[in-house]
Structure 1
Amino acid sequence: MTNVTVLGLGNLGQALAATLLTAGHPTTVWNRSPEKAAGLAGRGAVPAASAAGAVATADLVVVALLDYPTVHDVLEPLAGALSGRTVVNLTSGTPEQARTLAAWAERNGVRYLDGAVMAVPQTVGTPEAFLFYSGSAQAYEEHRDLLALLGEPRHLGEDPGLALLQDIALLSGMYGMFAGHFQAVALGWTAGLSAVEVTAQLVRWLTALLPALPHFAAEMDSRDYTTETSNLAINATGLGNILAATERQGVPAGLLAPLQELFLRQLDAGHAAASLSRAVEELRAGA
């Protein structure tokens, strides 16, 4: 069993600590608002009065705080105590923030892993959860079995910013889906349809479309956009109709208009017969 400390007891921190306790790992917890430790103490966790006290006996320190400035505020005074230990930081942030914190950890002899939790707190520790890690490969291999308790783990590489970069990529797709959902519901309302009615059909439609994504991905990686089906010209016409109809219904079309701009730039460049997926070339870094 590994002595684990969890710093931060918001919804995610609570779920992480509970999962570790269920697996039998001695778990110390700390939070700036100490009352949040009460429920976990009833399950066997050891509440610490200070962050310094929390890490004193830890083999592994798991961090789940509000943001990276808070992580710096909590960890930097503990540099000496953390030297020789492993820190796994599961706080949301940016790749550059992860790299900055990793550099601080290296300067202070702390083995560092940055992570991204691809799960809602309620599913931590279940087969639905998966987590990305980046940073010290040695630390990852040493604690891999324990990390697997939280959700399926995957180490992306030594660059500590990679986990958060992958997190941002997946969340970008999520927010794009939300934008489409909001647009669909707003249009449905203009025809007297409830959000529940529209959403039921939208889920059915999107589920049917999901197999197209791996096909598009293969085109994007190969950069071979040859198609005999849904080309850019067809989609630009269709999306143009959607935008016009949306505005006629009195609904703002701003959520979808940027996608049409990508289509039109590709048409202007002579790619009307190419696959719809070629629009991604407008977003390729350095293009």
Structure 2
Amino acid sequence: MTQNSAEKTPVTLLGLGAMGTALARTWLAAGHPLTVWNRTPGRAAGLAGEGAKAVGGVAEAVAASGLVVVCLLDDASVGEALADVDLAGKDLVNLTTTTPAQARDRAAWARERGARYLDGGIMAVPPMIGVPEAGGYVFYSGAEAVFEQHRETLAVPAGTTYVGEDTGHAALHDVALLSAMYGMFAGVHHAFALIRKEDIDPVAFAPLLADWLAAMAQGVHLTAGQLRSGDYTQGVVSNLAMQVAGTPTFLSTAEQQGVSPELLRPYFDLMARRLAEAGGEEDLTGVVDLLLR
């Protein structure tokens, strides 16, 4: 251990999947004393060769550091791994992907065991970890004191964005952004399906599609402003009536191209419902209210 590493916050990391391994390597490279544990011990061997202390038991790993970072498969894995471990006095940072409700429950569970708790939602894939220019970051929510105390250490693998004391908000931000991503991918896949049987090079088509999506993405700001104000007619350029009137063209084109409309039709159905309920002068924002149960 170098003098530099001795001055860095020691970290215990539980979980050495692809993401956990990437996190581990960035802390090691930055000089943080690192203790690692994984259910399958073999995964820790390479990191031990890079300077990590690999231990065979969770209790030993947790005892090694005041800051304990968890990156396991799911919430059940967290509960199982830490079930019989003394967490008193520890700062537990959970980067496992969970639901907001699971995050809140896990925070209460940690407090009952004497630990301070911070939840995280990782907005990156493993190759982005430790590469600042890649733009990856982690949402954090829960105990602000824990975040502030460990901000510098947590910022080593990826940028940090604190989203509040409500422990569930990191997971909620994470899932909300990823849900939008999958919606975008659905549109992308439908677009490629439409041209798939034609003499159109998908590689040549891709820049047109990417540029169009980037331009249309600016619409999220209009939607946000309308939701805040409650006025869904504010700043409307193409109103709901006009857009609903155009949907048969998209469905007919899909049919003619031999493409299933199953990715588009549910959204078009919601648009038609909103038109029937609220009239046609507003934007698409009213669909948000239809989704609330």
TM-score range, shorter chain: over 0.9
User: How big is the shift at 1:201?
Assistant: 2.1
Q: Which runs of 5+ in 1 are unaligned?
A: none
Tell me the amino acid that sits aligned with residue 63 of structure 2: A
The residue that corresponds to 1:24 in the other structure is 31
Matched length: 283
Does 2:12 correspond to 1:9?
Answer: no
The residue that corresponds to 2:129 in the other structure is 124
CA contact (8 A) 2:70 2:93 kept: yes
The residue that corresponds to 2:44 in the other structure is 37
CA distance in 1, matches of 2:118, 2:142: 5
Does 2:194 correspond to 1:187?
Answer: yes
Does 2:265 correspond to 1:272?
Answer: no
- Give the alignment's Cα RMSD to 1 decimal: 1.6
CA contact (8 A) 1:185 1:194 kept: no
The residue that corresponds to 2:232 in the other structure is 225
CA distance in 1, matches of 2:182, 2:240: 23
162-171 or 215-224, which deviates more: 215-224
The residue that corresponds to 2:88 in the other structure is 83
CA contact (8 A) 2:13 2:70 kept: yes
Q: Which runs of 5+ in 2 are unaligned?
A: 1-7
Tell me the amino acid that sits aligned with residue 112 of structure 1: Y
The residue that corresponds to 1:252 in the other structure is 260
Cα deviation digits, residues 211-241 of structure 1 (max 9, x gap) = 2221222122212222452111111122231
The residue that corresponds to 1:136 in the other structure is 143
Tell me the amino acid that sits aligned with residue 116 of structure 1: G
Tell me the amino acid that sits aligned with residue 102 of structure 2: Q
CA distance in 1, matches of 2:45, 2:246: 56
Q: Percent identity?
A: 46
Cα deviation digits, residues 217-269 of structure 1 (max 9, x gap) = 21222122224521111111222310222123221101111111121112112
The residue that corresponds to 1:204 in the other structure is 211
User: How big is the shift at 1:172?
Assistant: 0.6
CA distance in 2, matches of 1:165, 1:75: 24
CA distance in 1, matches of 2:282, 2:79: 48
CA contact (8 A) 1:181 1:199 kept: no
Does 2:158 correspond to 1:151?
Answer: yes
Quick one: which of 112, 116, 125 aligns to 1:111? 116
User: How big is the shift at 1:195?
Assistant: 3.8
CA contact (8 A) 1:216 1:277 kept: yes
The residue that corresponds to 1:100 in the other structure is 105
CA contact (8 A) 2:66 2:89 kept: no
Cα deviation digits, residues 118-150 of structure 1 (max 9, x gap) = 111111233311111111122111111111222
User: How big is the shift at 1:271?
Assistant: 2.2
Tell me the amino acid that sits aligned with residue 59 of structure 2: A
CA shift in 2, pair 1:228/1:158, >3 Å: closer
The residue that corresponds to 1:55 in the other structure is 62
CA shift in 2, pair 1:228/1:152, >3 Å: closer
User: How big is the shift at 1:194?
Assistant: 4.4
TM normalised by structure 1 equals: 0.93
98-107 or 271-280, which deviates more: 271-280
Q: Secondary structure at the match of 2:150?
A: helix
The residue that corresponds to 1:238 in the other structure is 246
CA distance in 1, matches of 2:108, 2:46: 35
The residue that corresponds to 1:172 in the other structure is 179
Q: Secondary structure at the match of 1:230?
A: coil
Tell me the amino acid that sits aligned with residue 9 of structure 2: T
Q: Secondary structure at the match of 1:190?
A: coil
User: How big is the shift at 1:275?
Assistant: 1.9
Q: Secondary structure at the match of 1:272?
A: coil
